[in-house]
Structure formats: structure tokens, C-alpha cells
Amino acid sequence: MSNDLEDIEYTYPAKQVKAVNVDPIPQRIFDGMKQYEDAARGFDLLGGFEYAKEGLPAGIILSHRPPDAQVAQVYRMSSDPTSTDLELERLTYFNIGTGRTIANFCPIIGDDWRGIWRAGGAIMEMDLDGNEKFQLWRYWEDSESDQILPKIERELDNHPGVGRIERITNDDFRNRNIVVSPSNKLLAFSSNKENGRDTLIYITKLIDSNTGAAADAEPFSLPSQLVTPIPESGEATANWIAQSISVDDRYLLLIKSHSSSYREIYVVDISGRTPAPPRLVRLPNTTEKLEETVTSSISFSHDPSAPHMIYLNTDAYGDFRSVVEYDLHADTVVHITTPEPDLHALRPIPWDTIGLQVTKDSLVFRANVEGWFDLFVVPLSGSHKNQVIQVKLESWEGGGMTYQANARNGRPNEIALKLLSYKSSGFIAHLDITDALQNVQRDEQGRAFISARPAAYQQASVAAPQFRTLPPQLRKFRSFDGLEVPFMYYHPHDGKSAVPVVIYIHGGPEGQSTSQTRVPIHWYLLNELGCAVVYPNVRGSIGYGKRYLALDVVEKREDSVKDIGSLIDYIGNSMKNELDPSRIAVMGGSYGGYMVYTCLTHFSDRLTCGVANFGIAHWPSFLKNTADFRRDNRRRKYGDERIPEVYEFLERISPVNNAAKITVPLSIAHGETDSRVPIGEAKMMWGMVSKNVHAELMVCEKEGHGFKQKSVIEFTNAAKLLFLERFLLSRG
């Protein structure tokens, strides 16, 4: 479908924002949103623990956007929770255009790429303007090295930070997924630099690198060796992901990702001068088809006596992703959490177990129990060896979590936690389970658990919100075909009055709305506008098993749309004392943006308006124009537009081809450099819808698939709220 909208007349209401049909926003909305936006500027674990320096505790690397910065920055703090130093040390000072998104900050012991030993620091993954063409960068501090390098050409200006940042990939490709060997001798990463399409794996040496580069100002490009084959012409796009290097530096574990529901394990012998071809690892006695199996979080054992032992998450033995142990030499599996009774797991867990981290002494992972996360540890030695022990966190309301164990410094029981809930958008806490493991208890079912109290790092905590926060309610409804669909539900008045409601649909579609805190708009809707918010996990969402995940594939695409229709029915039939069925809006981003578009084409007579972020409007053009490296992956989920009958189907269901059916207002926001869902999708949809009804468009400069800049976040949030005030609260 053509896009003949280059003559759009924009206003420029905010830094990096171009707008059409957006009314001037009252200052009261910006002022009212400030407390919610400040509360949403939480902290993220970016690189976990650094390598400790002699006599000092390890630092913890964090990401956080300070109030005066346009984008998030990198910080360091002491890992000692008893430290009197409560200051965060800011490491990066970037403006948009110099560095936008730092996706990884991987600490290393050092490198000799320039013929000298450059100690400490990290390898960074960072893009510049949201297009996801990540480059690799070397961060280091002169105080840790024996020789100070002169200023290097293309070195970033990081003043007044103490660290220096050198670009080590100098291309226009996508370089990601850094893996450093336990020995710090090898670095593996993925890149599409061969042809711009196929994501392949490369390795390079950190020590004894013999690059030939000198300790001077000349720019340096990282030399690397290709590990995976380049596909032949006509083959599907390759998407390899590096996972783990064995403790003896002999093997490299890889994932070959075909789609969100099909990921294979490969192992490569990298001990020779030339790496051997990748070898497919087939787990023994699986119960699921290989092409319907996902593996993730794959890691070699860190025990030097068992370098061939592998730990991973997989759904090769049932509906859910489980933790298993695989012996590469003996070709045997030990089931750790697989719930199928005949497999006799150490502790069956009938939910997805994810986020597996492996240390020399333990496994750490979490279980996703209907949107709430439980933490588990499995000691690999000692009196509790091979027991799956739940870690119950005291004085925490529950929600989402990520974590990093301090295995780099030989303290695997010391864990840095990022905790999220309905009260907090993310704070960092210290947890040491050493003492708690001396008091393992049993619940009524005989399952092992320990209780431990995380200690919040004061310097990495957002102040307790002064506004009201409400816990979610988990509810379920029956869809058109009898399928039970869960949703998270928030009501401003405890369900005691019928209020307007926003149905917020997550992206993915392989995403999930969980129990953790929401975007700032969420709290404004509840507390300032008196609206309820419903977060459905329609078919195709993760967290409910692979069968549920597969219920929206290709020709079943609009079954997920029917789920929203059934939810609207449920609101009108079963919740009309709590929710006003005459005032329902839909809202979402990415795939959720598509759902907004298509719900408006199906249900305009039952909705008041829609708010869409970076959504798909026309399936064939999306599949044609999405980034090369992900196109074949998306075809498996959405359909291959090159097949005539599939093309016809995708044309038929594309929202832009049904835009005339939309009779209620629509607000659209989209990143101008989005490589996943290109900006043309938003322009097409706005161009069609604006012919018949009020439609707003915000094009966000130097923004990709998701908004990162302060000015963009604040303006688009305020514009959406003004739009909802005008069209949801007033019944349009």
C-alpha cells in the first residue's frame, strides 16, 4: 500500500515531537503527571556486579534516567548494603544523538586489544537514535590501567564522567548479545554485518588478542572470527544468539531462533584454530515436536570438574518452560521443575520457569505464577544439594523481579534484586541467602522454602509514592469459544460505582500483562480521571503455556480480536455495576497498537475512542518493511505474505483496509526511526482514519520501537490524557 503523506503539515509542540491535530495541552496535565512520571523513573540492573577491586566491594551497575536527562544513563554503586556512601556514581553523560539506548553493560576483567593491558570496565551495546543498529563500545577508566591512552579518534565525549568510551564496531549493522567466557579470555557476540540480514555469531579474544593495534589515537575496529554459517541464497534468515562459553573455553552454546515458539540448541567446538561447524543438540526422550520447542537461558556449568554439564529452560517436555540439566557427554537429562508427573522432577512447577542463572554453586530462577513471580534457588553442593528451594521475600508485596548473583566475585549467594510491584516501578535490593539456607523449612505439601528479607539500597530506590496505589485483581472471562482469558483489573473505587474503563492491550503478541506497576498514565487514569483499567492477556500471550501461545497463529489472528469483543460483552453483562459499558476506550503499543486499530474497525459501535502506539496497520507492508533480521521470524507468527492465499488473508484483516469502519476518534504516536514497525504504518492509518473522524498523529524524532526521551514521554503522555478526557469521559 502506498504512503502519499509526505506533505503532512506538522506542528512542533515539544522537543523531538511533530504533531497533527493535537490540541494545546493545559499545563495542569503536565503538572498533574509529574509525580507519576517521577515515580516511574525506576532503576534497572544493567550489568550486575563488576569485578571487585582489591580491598573494595564490587560495584553494581545500574541504569536510571535522572530528572534532568533526556535519556537513561549508567550508574555505579557499592554492593555493600551497610556502606555509609549512599551516593550513586554517574558513569555516562550522553545527550540524544550521541547515545540513546544502552542495552547492555557487560563488565570484564580487561583486554589487550591495543597492545597494553586495559583493566576493568565493560563492553557496552548502544544505539544512537532508536533504529536498533547497536554498536559495541569499550568503557574503561584510566585510573585502573598502567598506561593512559591518548584521546582516540571517535572516542565519545563523556565529560564530566571518569570513564572513557571507545567505539569498537564501526559499521551500520546490529551488534548484540555479548557473552564473555568465565576465564575472561573470549568474547562472543551476534551481528548481521555479513549481509545486513542474517544474524550470525562471532568470537574474538580479550587476552592474547594480537590485534596489531597500537596504544595510540588511531580508531580501532574489533577483529572477529565467524562461527556460524552464512545461509545459502533462498534459505530463511538466520538468527543466532550466543548463550554461554564453557569454563574450559572449549565449547560455545548457541540458540538458533526460528520464531518465538521454535528455538534450537547448538554447540560449537571453538578449541581449534578454526571453530567446528555448529552441532544440533537434541535432548533425549522429548515429548514435543522439535519445531514447537523453545529453549532459552542456556548455560554451561561453572564447575571445572563438570564443564560438559548444561542447564537450560525448555518446553521440550510439556506445555510449560521448565528447568532441566543436560549432560552433553552422557546425553542424559535430569528434570528439575518439569511438571509432567511421569518425569519425576526434583520439584514439579506447573508454570513457566524463566530467567535461569548458573553459578558454580547454585542455580537461580523464577516462576511466573499468573503474573506474579516466585524466586527459587537450587544449591549444587552442600547439605541441600539438588533441592529446589523457594526464596520467600519478607516485607515485599510481590510482583515482578530480575536479579544478578555475584558469581563473578565468588559470592553466588549474594544477589542484587530489582523488584517491581503495584507500588514501585523498580528499586534495587540486596539479598544474601547464606544464613537462610541454614534454616530450610517445609510447607504443608512438603516443599522446601526459606525466608529472607531483602535490604533496599537507599541510593537506588524511588521515594515511596505520595499518591494512592492499588493492587491488581486477577479475573477471568470466557471468550467466544469457551477459552478462559485472564486479565489484571484496577478500579478507582473498589468496584462500588460504574466508571469509564480503558482496555490496555500488551504488545508482543508474545507478551503478558503482569502484577507489576504500570506506565505513568495508569495512575493518572485511576487517581485523577476516576477510570478503571483492564489489562487482558488474550490468546497468544506468554505465561500460560505453549498451547495458549499458539492460539493466534496466522489464520487465527482475529481470534485474539474476538477475545476483546468477548471482554466488552463481559463488561456489559457481568461488570456493569462496576464499569460503564457506554464509555470504553482501547489502548496499546506495538502489537497492542494493531489491536487498537483492528478493535476500532470491529467494535466502533461499542467503543468511544482508541490510543495506539507504534502499531501495525497493514500486514503486507509491515512484513515487507520490518527490519531484515526479524522478517522471517515474524512470518512464522503472522503469516508469509509471499504466499498468495496468505497475502489475501492479511490484506483482508489489515486495519488500514477497514479504516472506513472506524467511527470514533483515534490518537496515534510512533517513533520516526522505528525499524520494527516503520513509521509508514502510522502515517497510512492516520491518513485513512482522518478522512472520516478526528485523528491525532504524533511522530517522535530519534525514537524507535518504544519511547526513551524525557520530552517525548512527557508530551505524548499528556496528549493521550487530554485525548481521553475529551473523548472517553464525555462519551465522545
Per-residue pLDDT tens over the stretch 258-276: 988 999 999 999 999 999 9
Per-residue pLDDT tens over the stretch 675-701: 999 999 999 999 999 999 999 999 999
Quick check: 99 pLDDT over 70?
A: no
Q: Give dist(CA 697, CA 688) in Å, integer.
A: 12
Average pLDDT on 211-240 reads 92
Strand partners, 610: 586, 666
Q: Is 528 helix (H, G, I), strand (E, B) or coil?
A: coil
Domain contains 387: no
Rg (CA), the chain: 26
Quick check: 5 pLDDT over 70?
A: no
| Residue located via cell numbers 515429548 | 287
Quick check: 585 pLDDT over 80?
A: yes
Domain contains 719: yes
Read off the DSSP letter of residue 35: H
What's the grid cell of residue 448? 522446601
Per-residue pLDDT tens over the stretch 614-651: 999 999 999 999 988 888 889 989 999 999 999 999 99
Domain contains 579: yes
- Residues of the chain with pLDDT > 90, as a percent, come to 86
Burial category of 86 from C-beta neighbours within 10 Å (exposed 0-12, middle 13-18, buried 19 and up): exposed
Amino acid identity at 266? Y
Q: Residue 86's pLDDT is what?
A: 78
Query: pTM for the complete prediction?
Result: 0.94
At 637, which CATH number? 3.40.50.1820
Q: Is 475 helix (H, G, I), strand (E, B) or coil?
A: strand
CA atoms within 13 A on the CB side of 681: 35
Domain contains 386: no
Q: Give dist(CA 246, CA 182) in Å, integer.
A: 8
Provide the angle, in degrees to the nearest 10, between the axes of the packed helices 520-527 and 710-727: 30
Q: Give dist(CA 246, CA 188) in Å, integer.
A: 12
Read off the DSSP letter of residue 384: T
Q: Residue 389's pLDDT is what?
A: 98
Which residue did the predictor score with more confidence, 334 or 731?
Answer: 334
With a CB cutoff of 8 Å and minimum separation 6, the contacts of 125 are: 102, 103, 104, 134, 135, 136, 137, 175, 176, 178
Strand 532-536 relative to strand 499-505, pairing? parallel
Quick check: 96 pLDDT over 80?
A: no
Quick check: 56 pLDDT over 90?
A: no
Amino acid identity at 155? E
Domain contains 234: no
Q: Residue 427's pLDDT is what?
A: 93
Specify whether the CB–CB gap between 503 and 564 falls below 8 A: yes
Q: Residue 97's pLDDT is what?
A: 63
A 10 A CB-CB count for 147 gives 11
Q: How many structural domains comprise the chain?
A: 1
Smallest Cα–Cα separation from 226: which of 180, 270, 264? 270
Q: What's the order of all strands across the beta sheet hosting 484-490?
A: 11-14, 17-20, 695-700, 666-671, 609-613, 579-589, 499-505, 532-536, 484-490, 473-478
Output phi, psi for 317, to 5 deg: -120, 20
Amino acid identity at 689? V
User: In terms of C-beta distances under 8 Å and separation of at least 24 residues, what long-range contacts does 400-403 make, across chains too?
Assistant: 400/373, 400/514, 400/515, 400/516, 401/366, 401/373, 401/375, 402/44, 402/45, 402/355, 403/45, 403/355, 403/357, 403/364, 403/366, 403/375
What's the grid cell of residue 206? 580479550
Domain contains 447: no
Q: Give dist(CA 726, CA 732) in Å, integer.
A: 7
Quick check: 133 pLDDT over 70?
A: yes
Full domain range(s) for residue 637: 11-38+464-727
With a CB cutoff of 8 Å and minimum separation 6, the contacts of 256 are: 238, 239, 240, 241, 263, 264, 266, 278
Quick check: 668 pLDDT over 90?
A: yes
Per-residue pLDDT tens over the stretch 427-475: 999 999 999 999 999 999 999 999 999 999 999 988 788 899 999 999 9
Smallest Cα–Cα separation from 673: which of 706, 628, 695, 631? 706
Instruction: Tell me if the bond preceding 509 is cis, omega within 30° of 0.
Output: yes
Quick check: 154 pLDDT over 90?
A: no
Q: Residue 650's pLDDT is what?
A: 96
| Residue located via cell numbers 544513563 | 73
Average pLDDT on 96-123 reads 89
Domain contains 558: yes
Q: Give dist(CA 178, CA 54) in Å, integer.
A: 26
Burial category of 629 from C-beta neighbours within 10 Å (exposed 0-12, middle 13-18, buried 19 and up): buried
Q: What's the order of all strands across the beta sheet hosting 309-314?
A: 295-300, 309-314, 322-327, 332-335
Quick check: 98 pLDDT over 60?
A: no
Quick check: 190 pLDDT over 90?
A: yes
Average of per-residue pLDDT values in the chain? 94
Q: Taking the mean position of all CA atoms in its chain, how far away is CA 227? A: 26
**What CA–CA distances, in Å, run from 97 to 16, 70, 86, 138, 676?**
11, 11, 31, 18, 20
Smallest Cα–Cα separation from 527: which of 493, 487, 488? 493
Domain contains 170: no
